Amino acid sequence: MPILAVKQTCKSTLMSLLLSNFTREWVVFTGSLFFLFLSSAWGQENCSYSFQAQLIDLHEDSPLVDARIVLLGTDKITSSTEEGRFQIQGLCPGTYKIKFSHPLCDPQTKTIQIPQKKPFVFHLEHHVNTLAEIIVSEESFKKIRKSQVESGLNTNELIRQQGGNLATALSELSGVNKLQTGTGLAKPIIHGMYGSRVGIVMDGVRLQDQEWGADHAPTLDINAADNIKIIKGAGVLRYGGDTPGGIIVLQKNRKAFQDTLINRIGTTLESNGRGGGLFAKSQWSNGLGSYAQFNITAKRLGDLMTSEDVLSNTGLAEKAFALTWGRNKIQSGWEASYRFYDTQIGILRSAHVGNTGDLARAIASPKPIIIEPFTYSLGVPRQENQHHNGKLSYFKRFHEVSKWEFNYNVQWNHRQEFDVRRGELKKRPAIDLSLWTQDLEVFLETRLGQNYKLSGGLSGKIQDNFSDPETGVKRLIPDHNKYQWAAFSSLQYAPDNQWNIDAGFRFEGIHYAAQKYYDEKDWMNRGYAVDFPNISIVDYGTQLLAAIDLNFLTFSSSLGIGYNWTPTQQLLFNFNHSERAPNPSELFSDGLHHALATIEYGELRLQKEQVNKWILGVDSQQEKFQYAASVYYSDLRNYIIIEPNGFEQTVRGAFPVWQYQSVMGNLAGMDLDLVYSPRPWLQYKLTNSIIRGHDRTRDRPLIDIPPFSLRQQLTWMPLQKGGWEISLKHHYTAQQTRFPDNNFDYNRLVDGALVATRIDISTPPKRFHLWEVNWAFRIQNKARKFWDFRIIVDNLTNTSYRNYLNRLRFYADEMGRNIKLQVNYNF
C-alpha cells in the first residue's frame, strides 16, 4: 500500500512539473494528501512489529539525544535521535525488557508489550542531588509542546548548510521561503509573512536587529546553533505575541554531565564567488555540570556570477564569534554568553538607480547594466552590520516540580548602508542606525499534578534607536525609544497518552517616544496637523520637529490540541490570535529607495494589526514512510502593507510614492513533507507548499506571496559505514500568477514629445527548475575522530532564472552554478 501511494505521489509531482497552472497544483496537492491518508493503513505480519518511543528529560522537557537503547535478549540496539525518538523493528509479539542508558544517567530497565498499543514517552529524571539515580516514568504522555506544528533542521542538516545564511537554510523546509535582496541578503518568509511578523530567538533571546527592513538580513551566525526549529503555536507566546508567521528558534545542544571535549573545524569553499569560509567550534563540559562553548566563523566571497555574467559588487565578508559559559547543577544553574556578528555585504551595483527612467532601462536590459571584471573588493552600495549580544541567565528549582528562570539580555545593533554618492560624501554612510536593546525576563514553570504544567512570566524591554545625522541624508526612521512590557502564561494539559492540549496568552504594552523631522508641507498635506493636534511641534523653517508618543496594547492568545490516534500518527490543531503594533518603519519611514526607485512613507495613524490563524496538521512517523501535512488559514485585520499611492515630482522626474497602509485580507495554504525509505540505503524526500494571499479591501492578490514550489530529493547511501551518501535534489518553482498590478507610466521622449510607456514592475518571472547534487563521505580514524567531506553542486545545469521573491529581480539573473567543497574535522 505505501509503495502504491508513493508511486502516485511521484506521478503527481511530475504532473505538477509539467503544468504551471494553479488549479492543477491544487489537484496535485490534494491528490498527494489523499494517498497519504490511504497509506496510513498498514499491514502487519508476525515478527514485523515495531516499537517506537520518545525519551524526555523530565526537568527540562527536552528530548534526550543519543541515549542508548538495548532490547534485552535480542541483538537490537539503537540510539535516540535529536527529538529523543527511537524505533526498534522486526519484533514478534510478546513481552520484552528494554534498557536505556545515557551519559546523564545510570542505565534503567523497563518492560514493554508488543504489539505496542499506545505511544510511549519515557521521562528520565535526574534525581535531585544524586545524578546517578534516574526515575523512568511513562504514566502520562508529556510530550514537548506537541500540540504545536513544528518543523526544523537538526545538527547534520545544519552542517550541510555551513557557510550559508539562515533564510537559505530554512527554505529547505516546507512553508518557508526567502525574501532576497540580490544574493547575499535574505530573510525568511514563513507562511507568506516576513520581517516583523517572524521572530528569531537564539538561546532564548529574541534578536533585535531592525528586522522591519525588507533588505535587512537577520544579523546572526547560524553556525553557532546546533539545531533550528520553527514554532507556530503557544510556544511562541513566551517570546512575543506579534509573530503570526511563527518563531525561528536556534538552539545549542544540551551539555552532557561528563568530561567531554568535542571540537570541529571546517571549511566550505565555493566556486561561485571564489571564496569560502572557515568554521571552528568547541564544546567542553565536565561531570560537575560546568560547560563552555566556543564558535568562530570567518567568511569571504568575491563577486558572484549568474550563468553568464559577473554580478558586480556582490561580494561578502563575515566574521562571527560566540562564547558561552555556564554551569548546570540540576537544582540551579547559570549561563553567560556573548555573541558578536559582523558582516559587510555588497549589493548589486546595477541595482542602484537614480530614477524611474533608469529603472525602465534596467528592466528593458536583459543583462545587468554594469558588468565589471571579477573582484573581491566591496564597493557601493553595501551594508555593514555589527551585532553584539550578551546574555545572563539563572534558574532555580524548588518543590521538586517547579522552576524559575531569570534572563537578562543586552544587544547592540549597528547598521550602516553606503550608497552611490558624490564627492566627500562617498565615504559616509547614507543610513547609520544604532539600536540598543535591554531585555529582562522572569519566568516560572510548575507542574500541577501529573497532567498539568503551568508556566508564565513577566518581561520588560527598553530600546533606544539612534539615527546618526552625520549621514547628510534625511533619516529613514527617526530617533526613538521603545518601551515594552509583557505578561504571559500558558497551561499544558496532557490527560493521557493520546491527548495533549495547551492554551496561552500574552499581554503586551508598547510605548514609542519618537522625535521626527517632517517637511512642513508634508505634515500639513498628510493631515497630521489636524489629526494629531496634541503632538508638540518645534518649527525649524522648512522642517518641523514633532515629538510623537504612541501607545499600543496588544493581547495575543493561542490554543493547541494534539491527538495521537495511533502510536505513530498524530493530528494537530492550532489556533492563534496575534496582535502586532506597527513597527517604526511602518509608522515613520520617509525616504527614497534606490533599489526600486520609490519614495516610501510611513503612516502615523496605523492601528495594531490582528491575525487569526488556524492550522490543521497530520503527521505520521512510520518505519518506511513518514509525512507531515498541514493546511492553514489566516484572517488578516488591519494588515499593514506598503502599496503605491501616486507620484511625487522631484528633480529626478516623477517618482512613484509607496505608502504603508492597512488592509483586510487572508492567507491560506498547505504544506507537505514526506520521506519514503523503501530500503535502508534509499530515501526519497518531497517538500511541497502552496499559498494564496488576498487583499479583501481592494479585492486583489497580496504582493510578495511565494509561488507554488516543490523540492524532491533522492538519496542513495550505498555503504552504511563511512557515511557515503549521494543525493540528487530537484527544486521547482512555478510562476506566481496571482499578483497585484503596481505598474505605472513613464514618459519617454519621442520626436520632441512625451509618450507614456507602461513600466512593468509587477509581472513575476517565469517558472524554473533547479538541480543539485550532493556527495558526502566520512573517513574515521579513531573512535571519535573523523573527517567529513562533502561536495555540493548548486544549480547543476547552470540555469538562468529570476525569482519573484528577489527584490532585485529586475536587474539581474540569479546565481549560476556553484560548486562547494566542505571539509570538516571532528575531534
Asked if residue 545 binds another protein (CB under 8 A), the reply is yes
- Residue of 540, 565, 716, 775 interacting with another protein (CB under 8 A): 540
Q: In the numeric block, which cell numbers belong to residue 796?
A: 547543476
Asked if residue 469 binds another protein (CB under 8 A), the reply is yes
Only segment of 57-65, 418-426, 677-685, 695-703 that touches another protein (CB under 8 A) = 418-426
- Residue of 394, 633, 724, 787 interacting with another protein (CB under 8 A): 394
For another protein, give the closer residue by CB, 112 or 599.
599
Helix axes 22-39, 2-18, angle to 10 degrees: 170
Query: How many residues would you count in the chain?
Result: 827
Residues 306 and 324: beta-carbon distance below 8 Å: no
Closest CA to 356 of 647, 574, 58, 124: 647
- Residue of 542, 680, 720, 783 interacting with another protein (CB under 8 A): 542
| Beta carbons within 8 Å of 312's beta carbon, 6+ residues apart | 303, 348, 349, 350, 368, 370, 371, 372, 375
| Beta carbons within 8 Å of 530's beta carbon, 6+ residues apart | none
Is the bond leading into 381 cis (omega within 30 degrees of zero)? yes
Closest CA to 66 of 87, 45, 89, 83: 83
- Residue of 87, 481, 737, 800 interacting with another protein (CB under 8 A): 481
Residues 447 and 243: beta-carbon distance below 8 Å: no
For another protein, give the closer residue by CB, 319 or 329.
329
Asked if residue 651 binds another protein (CB under 8 A), the reply is yes
Residues 316-355 that bind another protein (CB under 8 A): 332, 352-355
Please, is 373 exposed, middle or buried when counting C-beta atoms within 10 Å of its C-beta (0-12, 13-18, 19+)?
exposed
* End-to-end CA, the chain: 44
For another protein, give the closer residue by CB, 73 or 752.
752
Write down the least CB distance from residue 352 to another protein, Å: 6
Closest CA to 547 of 526, 523, 568: 523
For another protein, give the closer residue by CB, 448 or 755.
755
Asked if residue 520 binds another protein (CB under 8 A), the reply is no
- Residue of 103, 289, 653, 701 interacting with another protein (CB under 8 A): 653
d(CA 83, CA 57): 11
DSSP states of 556-582 as a string? EEEEEEEEEEETTEEEEEEEEEEEEPP
Residues 727-756 that bind another protein (CB under 8 A): 747, 749-754
d(CA 489, CA 475): 39
Write down the least CB distance from residue 428 to another protein, Å: 9
Write down the least CB distance from residue 429 to another protein, Å: 13
Write down the least CB distance from residue 335 to another protein, Å: 13
* HEC assignment per residue over 55-98: EEECCCCEECCCCEEEECCCCCEEECCCCCEEEEEEECCEEEEE
For another protein, give the closer residue by CB, 600 or 772.
600
- Residue of 140, 290, 543, 612 interacting with another protein (CB under 8 A): 543
Residues 120-179 that bind another protein (CB under 8 A): none
Please, is 6 exposed, middle or buried when counting C-beta atoms within 10 Å of its C-beta (0-12, 13-18, 19+)?
buried
Write down the least CB distance from residue 604 to another protein, Å: 17
Asked if residue 482 binds another protein (CB under 8 A), the reply is no
Asked if residue 421 binds another protein (CB under 8 A), the reply is yes
Q: In the numeric block, which cell numbers belong to residue 698?
A: 481592494
Only segment of 193-201, 322-330, 435-443, 778-786 that touches another protein (CB under 8 A) = 435-443
* Residues that contact another protein, how many (by CB under 8 A): 57
| Beta carbons within 8 Å of 774's beta carbon, 6+ residues apart | 160, 725, 726, 727, 728, 729, 790, 791, 792, 793
Write down the least CB distance from residue 507 to another protein, Å: 21
Asked if residue 513 binds another protein (CB under 8 A), the reply is yes
Only segment of 11-19, 84-92, 390-398, 789-797 that touches another protein (CB under 8 A) = 390-398
Between the CA of residue 752 and those of 466, 747, 749, 755, 758, what are the distances in Å? 48, 12, 6, 10, 19
- Residue of 650, 757, 762, 797 interacting with another protein (CB under 8 A): 650
- Residue of 90, 93, 472, 495 interacting with another protein (CB under 8 A): 472
Asked if residue 464 binds another protein (CB under 8 A), the reply is yes
Burial 205-229 (b: 16+ CB within 10 A, else e): bbbbbbbbbbbbbbbbbbbbbbbbb
Only segment of 188-196, 237-245, 463-471, 662-670 that touches another protein (CB under 8 A) = 463-471
Write down the least CB distance from residue 564 to another protein, Å: 40
Q: In the numeric block, which cell numbers belong to residue 27?
A: 489537484
Only segment of 141-149, 215-223, 297-305, 478-486 that touches another protein (CB under 8 A) = 478-486
Residues in contact with another protein by CB under 8 A are 332, 352-355, 357-358, 361, 369-370, 392, 394, 396, 406, 408, 410, 420-423, 425, 436, 438, 440, 462, 464, 467, 469, 471-475, 478-479, 481, 513, 515, 517, 538, 540-543, 545, 649-653, 747, 749-754
